[in-house]
Amino acid sequence: MFNNKSMLITGGTGSFGQAWVNYLLKKYKNIKRLVVFSRDELKQLEMSKIYSEKKYPCLRYFIGDIRDKERLISALADVDYVVHAAALKQIPTAEYNPIETIKTNIIGAQNLIEAALATNVKKVIALSTDKASSPINLYGATKLCSDKLLIAANNIKGQRDISFSIVRYGNVMGSRGSVIPNFIKFKEKGFLEITDTRMTRFNITLTESIKMVEWIFNNSLGGEIFVPKIPSYKIIDLAKAVCSTCKIKILGIRPGEKLHEELLTSSESVNTFETKDYYIILPMVNKIYSDFFSKKAKGKKVKKEFNYKSNENKFLSVNDLKKLLANY
């Protein structure tokens, strides 16, 4: 799909961005142009030492901020596809800096929409989070709002050949700012810090998230929220998998933090289909969407009042987690 096409990724120097770039460069040898858009010049410099423009002539590093619409318009010239991964996502940081979080996560999303509509972009896939489902913190609330903006963008595109869709998933295993790097750091000190031993989280690997985004590019119509069928883990089991001999220090739940996460609410079940690997929350139930996901993706409607919570899910065992951790 991406051969002879141009792709831009916002937040391109983050964990997902670097993995996505690596995947595309390996699989799509004839990709026309791949633009890494981010505001951190040091991370771009470090990334360019691994993926150089000399070795990969299709690759471009573009300094910019999604808060700057004019810069986005310039970056999106002749771009066919966009993955939107830029966000302020650390919950404590967002709680302490609400206006800055709103500027990046909400205003930034609207800037991207307007820039995409002003250029010739064909498809935008935005990365969201389980925190956007029944949010209790500012990060989740801003992502819920940005998701709504991106879905609504499909209603204002006019005759333009463009679509906007969302991927909503849980914690990406080993990503920057996640609990695993923190556990590994404290492992050397002989103790691990946990906010609450009852806590559960969804788990998705970087490889799974990449394959999902690729699948969505090939199968989305516009306006959907795609949710992966993924396992959960208990935070105490993850701690045991990282260091079975470490002492556990209980910190208490942080402001804006949930005991359990939710990827799909019962209210959303009315418009939700499921396939073998994904739940698909449709913007509306109509014949076009229903026929498409019933036939092409072999989907079916979920049961009424269905919801998808991390504490009511299939759990990874300590041994399962150890096997996954071996890759990090």
Q: Is the pLDDT of residue 316 over 70?
A: yes
Domain tally, the chain: 1
Q: Domain for residue 240, yes or no?
A: no
Mean predicted lDDT score pLDDT of the chain: 92
Q: 29 an active-site residue?
A: no
DSSP per-residue letters across 225-282: EEEE---EEEHHHHHHHH-TTSEEEE--PPTT--SS-EEE-GGGGGGEEE-SSEEEE-
DSSP 120: T
Calpha distance 16→231 (Å, rounded): 19
Under 8 Å between Cβ of 171 and 200 = no
Contacts of 41 (CB under 8 A, 6+ apart): 63
Structure confidence at residue 186 (pLDDT) = 82
* Sign of the CA dihedral with 249 first, then 253, 259, and 264 last: negative
CATH of the domain at 146: 3.40.50.720
Kindly indicate the confidence band of residue 271, based on its pLDDT and cuts at 50, 70 and 90.
confident
Structure confidence at residue 188 (pLDDT) = 81
Q: Is the pLDDT of residue 289 over 80?
A: no
Q: What mean pLDDT is predicted for residues 190-214?
A: 94
Q: Domain for residue 158, yes or no?
A: yes
155, with CB counted inside 10 A (0-12, 13-18, 19+), is exposed
- Nearest C-alpha neighbor of 309 from the set 270, 279, 282: 279
Encode pLDDT of 171-196 as tens digits. Answer: 888 777 678 888 888 888 888 999 99
- Nearest C-alpha neighbor of 322 from the set 207, 190, 183, 208: 183
Structure confidence at residue 177 (pLDDT) = 66
Q: Domain for residue 139, yes or no?
A: yes
Least confident among 55-69, 102-116, 171-185: 171-185
Q: What mean pLDDT is predicted for residues 29-46?
A: 96
Structure confidence at residue 170 (pLDDT) = 86
What is the rounded radius of gyration, in angstroms, for the C-alpha atoms of the chain?
A: 20
Per annotation, catalytic residue among 131, 143, 240, 309: 131
Contacts of 28 (CB under 8 A, 6+ apart): 2, 3
Q: Is the pLDDT of residue 76 over 90?
A: yes
Q: Is the pLDDT of residue 104 over 80?
A: yes
Q: Domain for residue 156, yes or no?
A: yes
φ/ψ of 268, rounded to 5, equals: -80, -15
DSSP per-residue letters across 45-56: HHHHHHS-TTT-
pTM: 0.94
Q: Domain for residue 328, yes or no?
A: no
Q: Domain for residue 326, yes or no?
A: no
Contacts of 220 (CB under 8 A, 6+ apart): 123, 125, 163, 165, 226
What domain range includes position 20?
Answer: 6-172+204-230+264-309
CA torsion angle for 71, 77, 83, 84 (degrees, to 10)? Answer: 20
Kindly indicate the confidence band of residue 287, based on its pLDDT and cuts at 50, 70 and 90.
low
CA 93 to chain centre: 18
Q: Domain for residue 180, yes or no?
A: no
Structure confidence at residue 285 (pLDDT) = 59
* Joined tokens for residue 93: 């940081």
Calpha distance 168→21 (Å, rounded): 20
Kindly indicate the confidence band of residue 255, based on its pLDDT and cuts at 50, 70 and 90.
confident
Q: Is the pLDDT of residue 118 over 70?
A: yes
Q: Is the pLDDT of residue 294 over 90?
A: no
Q: Domain for residue 314, yes or no?
A: no
The three state secondary structure string of 188-206 is CCCEEEECCCCCEEEEECH
Share of the chain above pLDDT 70, in %: 97
